[in-house]
Chains A and B, each alone.
Chain A
């Protein structure tokens, strides 16, 4: 047994490694720019104002990026193609990066693409430095829109029409003439890029090796020693945020598990005792319906009817109350979420209990004790019940991981700041450190849960053996 447990835990390590890889790669591929999210102002942060202030904000962007380690290559090695330069990851601003990738896909000649990109940047800066007067204000705004297109679009038709409109804008006002050189430069470099296209280079594989200076290495080495990093969203340590969230989730799920077992076990025993008669059928049907009710529908209905919609304003529907609230106040907040958390599991546990009870009641020792004249109550509760309780208790091990990682669905609907909501929010805000930690944490708990479940099964049922028989 000990042997088995040690072996299982050793197997955890490669599994966790793979999970860390998947989480990392997935989060990095989710579109959006974490740095812009932190600095605020979305895509416009560095694209408005005079060139000096723009350069300053550009610099703060670069600094922030370096501070977060996002300027490093993503992984130890990369497989790309001959058309993609191994320094592409250095291009900051994710939309620009993505657009350059598209251009590479189309034309496959990095030198020319780089030229074009630089010329657009220069043009962009030149536009900012143009003094605005009443004649060119409109043209300037128009130019900026087109620049945005150039930075974000790769389709030849879109780019060409944008370039065409830019030429019109420049011709429209004499003071726009100051940037005609930059404009011409952009046009030339764009045409060069198209004329010298080598898209076949996209089909020549190329390996790059970056060594240990990469984002993944930086994250995982810190993670292993327990440094989970700082949340991008509010600058708090991730560890702290996760602990708070686990507390909230555990509060609800532990209460709900206790409730579930308290209600489900008597129901299960009751249906097993009355197996297949009317009462059992009614109970089973009701439980089946509960089991199939989608929890987000029930939650929505409860909020509509009891949360101050058109009907009763009985329960608060938002969060779990404040820090200093009284016990009653908190309990008040808990009523609706607890109900939604509990009713589905109720059906599941009581079905298991019923099955397990029926199984026990058909055993020989029950017949023997009935033959001995043991009272029906004693048979039921002393003999059958005790023996059928164990499998239901082992269910606990598989329920536990869910209890910790929380319910994304319900936590979103009731705005409960637990683990599920934390994961969801972190993912939508590209809060990478938080995403990694929550997912790794849930994964470890889940795997431990399965291990405990397996061990429980072995303890409960001695016929199961995990030793190697060959």
Chain B
């Protein structure tokens, strides 16, 4: 056998192990394929033509729509309330599925079956998965639902990872004895945390909750402003406590029981029935997908935090961390540059399973009709419509949810096998 020079670093090893798992690799490709569908959903299923030619020359309404959204062009007023399918064109290219999720085909309303003849001009206009009560095309809704499913999975898990990694690594790395603060800082912290909360959150609640309803970017902006205000107060703690540190008693350092506090926080979140928590939070605010994503993220970070805490508890007594300490590196630098990168692999696993779980939660919430605005059609909502529909209606959306969850679970399995050297056979 010819000797092969294999790269020996950890990630190349992981990659090789992962590639051995055929099912996981296949799921990886499938996820990419579905992501492509999600990204190009507007070009695959849309009532507007991809391109058409009339007196004014060639037009690209779908592209134009994107331009309108980012504000570089304007929507021609002649196109308002236009029945695209009935317009006269010199030549026209319609997308693969010539229906938007909200296009109502009156002639095929009331659950036109995919197995029976439909009232259409040609096969080109067939509703391949049928329609719902108002004549909206199921396949188109399914394709656009892919986008929502991915968004929910990725955004909420991004948030969960962010919270989980920060809190989990703090708990694991600092434990109950490694984070020390002077009494002066603690006192100033206690004094300033209330105004910090007041100015960064409470007095901005209206701004923040209005922004959630408006747009993601606006919300992000308001959130960043809030965070900056909070950080400014924390800087205030640092500045104000400096002169007091000279007094002996106030200058003494006390260890903060970070681990105990974060562990209790996790315990609290885990003990409250998860769906109850989510349903209660979602019920407070205006329905929006943003909110659903935020709430799922805020409630599902505990698993990631527990993983990374356990890893760091193990890692923190290893020699290279001690070496970093001996070299005089700061806590933060040791934590983020050395400890976390070595503890990140279990997080990847939790992430894959977490995305599956988030998609499941979102589809369940839309299934019981909570939190998703009425005009948005998601897989879960399609499934909920099926309760008053013919039998075939329940198949497609449920199958899509199932496939999505299976793919991410398989990915998670593959990652577990690849990342855990103990399982090496």
Residues of A at under 8 Å CB distance from B?
Answer: 11, 14-15, 18-19, 22-23, 26-27, 29-31, 79, 81, 102, 105, 202-203, 205, 288-289, 291-294, 296-297, 300-301, 303-305, 309-311, 405, 408-409, 412, 420, 423-424, 427-428, 438-439, 442-443, 446-447, 450
Contacts and interface: CB of A to CB of B under 8 A. Distances in A.
Interface string B184-203: 00000000001101110011
B409 interface: yes
A300 B398 contact: yes
B268 A409 contact: no
A442 B268 CA distance: 12
A443 B271 CA distance: 5
Contacts of A203: 199, 203
Nearest to A285: B23
B308 to A, nearest CB: 19
A412 B368 contact: yes
A311 B391 contact: yes
A420 B279 CA distance: 12
A52 to B, nearest CB: 37
13 contacts: A11-B264, A22-B272, A30-B283, A79-B198, A81-B198, A202-B203, A300-B383, A409-B364, A409-B368, A420-B273, A427-B276, A427-B279, A447-B267
A427 B398 CA distance: 27
Given A296-B383, A300-B383, A427-B279, A310 B270 contact: no
A442 B273 contact: yes
Contact of B272 (A79, A310, A439): A439
B274 to A, nearest CB: 9
A409 to B, nearest CB: 6
Contacts of B202: 79, 81
B206 interface: yes
A102 B209 CA distance: 12
Contacts of A292: 356, 402, 405-406, 409
Interface of B: 194-195, 197-199, 202-203, 206, 264, 267-268, 270-273, 275-277, 279-281, 283-284, 356, 360, 363-364, 367-368, 383, 386-387, 390-391, 394-395, 398-399, 401-402, 405-406, 409-410
Nearest to B401: A294
Given A15-B271, A427-B283, 13 more contacts: A18-B264, A22-B268, A81-B202, A203-B199, A205-B194, A288-B409, A291-B409, A294-B401, A297-B394, A423-B273, A442-B271, A446-B270, A446-B271
Contact of B401 (A205, A297, A405): A297
B280 A205 contact: no
Contacts of B360: 294
Nearest to B363: A294
Given A30-B280, A31-B283, A296 B364 contact: yes
Contacts of A205: 194-195, 198, 203
Given A297-B402, A408-B276, A31 B391 contact: no
A443 B276 CA distance: 11
A23 to B, nearest CB: 7
Contact of A297 (B270, B275, B281, B398): B398
A-B pairs, 9 with minimum CB distance: A297-B398, A292-B406, A443-B271, A26-B280, A446-B271, A205-B198, A310-B391, A292-B405, A30-B283
Contact of B394 (A301, A408, A412): A301
Contacts of B401: 294, 297
A301 B203 CA distance: 48
A438 B383 CA distance: 29
Contacts of B277: 26
B176 to A, nearest CB: 11
A289 B407 CA distance: 10
A289 B410 CA distance: 10
A79 B284 CA distance: 20
Nearest to B277: A26
Contacts of A301: 394-395, 398
